[in-house]
Amino acid sequence: MSNVAIKPPSQGGIVNWMKENLFSNKLNTVISIICIYFIVKFLVGVVDWGILNAVFAADASACKAASDGACWGIISEKYRFIIFGTYPADEQLRPLIAMVWFVGLIVCSLHRSFWKLWLIPLWVASLIGLGVLMWGGVLGLSYVENTQWGGLPLTLMLSVVGTVAAFPLGILLALGRRSELPLIRVWCVAFIELVRGVPLISVLFMASVMFPLFLPEGVTIDKLLRAQIGIILFTSAYLAEVFRGGLQAVPKGQYEAAAAMGLTYWQTMRVVVMPQALRIVIPPTVNSFISMFKDTSLVLIIGLFDLLATAKVAITDPVWRAFYIEVYIFVAAIYFVFCYSMASYANNLETELRKGEQH
């Protein structure tokens, strides 16, 4: 009996964990104590500044008096402008509805049980509906030209429309780059390398400053549309390379098996290759989407009021100019919510789709 191996005594509990990981020897103990001291000091500082000494009322003089606290009053005063930009104040319910609808539509579209064919007409109908809601001019809604759009709805629109349009374009470019027809291949390679060779800022600059000069007399293409097309082309070039990576990772045997079964090129791609390739590239694809979502803030340089631009405009108000840190924190929080949701969704999707591989 005495030879039976006994289980080591239970080492559970936070105290034991700390003993093992933080205070296992003298050096570790010293380092841990120093780190804990600074972390606590930092957290106390943040709470003091952000909550205890902070001013929440939209009163600039109260904010100035409370010099060691945050001034969330600027958010109370400016949140409408930061979120909706120069969209007329009486009509702001419209972009709000549009935004909620848009986000709802996206969340639904992301769930697997909604992946049916009717999703496509639903998207088309929704986009038309959103256009009507944002522009107005019919059904008793007053007309709001799109130079007045701004803030979060604009950021969402630029990035979601950019994503939805760039995704299929990216797939086509990736397939084109691997095509055996030289003309198509050369075209796709040239496009991808050209676009990847220049920064997004210069694409937007070309679209907004140079492009109008080449149009015939009297023809103008909307500034927003030009920026949107620029973003779509730019993103599609990057996605194309991501998808090409996925296509290369699919074993050659899969192509040969599909060919042996007599599937055509498009059947092979649609049924056999693409589903596998796209699953492989979920992490880099989401990476591209997240970086595109943040890149839309570059439209600031062509005078479009996206979320970051409205924040920057809000702090040019002389009364509130000193409280720019609070505004940046507010905007960073909004960006974080969206980017983090995208990342977590991608993680879930990956686990979900990998279920087939678990044995």
Binding of residue 139 to another protein (CB under 8 A): no
Torsion sign across C-alpha atoms 101, 94, 86, 214: positive
Residue of 190, 249, 301, 332 that binds another protein (CB under 8 A)? 301
Binding of residue 214 to another protein (CB under 8 A): yes
Residue of 173, 227, 258, 302 that binds another protein (CB under 8 A)? 302
d(CA 260, CA 283): 31
Binding of residue 104 to another protein (CB under 8 A): no
Distance from the Cα of residue 121 to its chain's centroid: 24
Residue of 208, 228, 236, 296 that binds another protein (CB under 8 A)? 208
- Coil vs helix vs strand at 319: coil
Tokens describing residue 278: 């796209």
Binding of residue 197 to another protein (CB under 8 A): no
d(CA 206, CA 229): 12
Give whichever of 275 and 303 is closer to another protein, judged by the CB atom.
303
d(CA 307, CA 291): 15
Applying the rule CB under 8 A, the residues between 38 and 77 that interact with another protein are: 67, 77
d(CA 291, CA 235): 10
All residues at 6 or more sequence positions from 350 whose CB lies less than 8 Å from its CB, including other chains: 279, 282, 283
Give whichever of 76 and 341 is closer to another protein, judged by the CB atom.
76
Residue of 185, 223, 279, 294 that binds another protein (CB under 8 A)? 223
Q: Which stretch binds another protein (CB under 8 A): 3-11, 15-23, 167-175, 304-312?
A: 304-312
Give whichever of 321 and 354 is closer to another protein, judged by the CB atom.
321
Question: Would you give the DSSP letter of residue 320?
Answer: T
Query: In Å, how far are 40, 61, 109, 234, 239 from 228, measured between CA atoms?
Result: 46, 41, 22, 10, 16
Binding of residue 293 to another protein (CB under 8 A): no
Binding of residue 88 to another protein (CB under 8 A): yes
Q: Which stretch binds another protein (CB under 8 A): 10-18, 153-161, 240-248, 313-321?
A: 313-321
Query: In Å, how far are 23, 88, 133, 312, 334 from 330, measured between CA atoms?
Result: 38, 22, 27, 12, 7
Sites of contact with another protein (CB under 8 A): 67, 77-78, 80-81, 84-89, 145, 147-148, 150, 205, 208-210, 212-215, 217-218, 220, 223, 301-303, 305, 309, 312-318, 321-322, 324
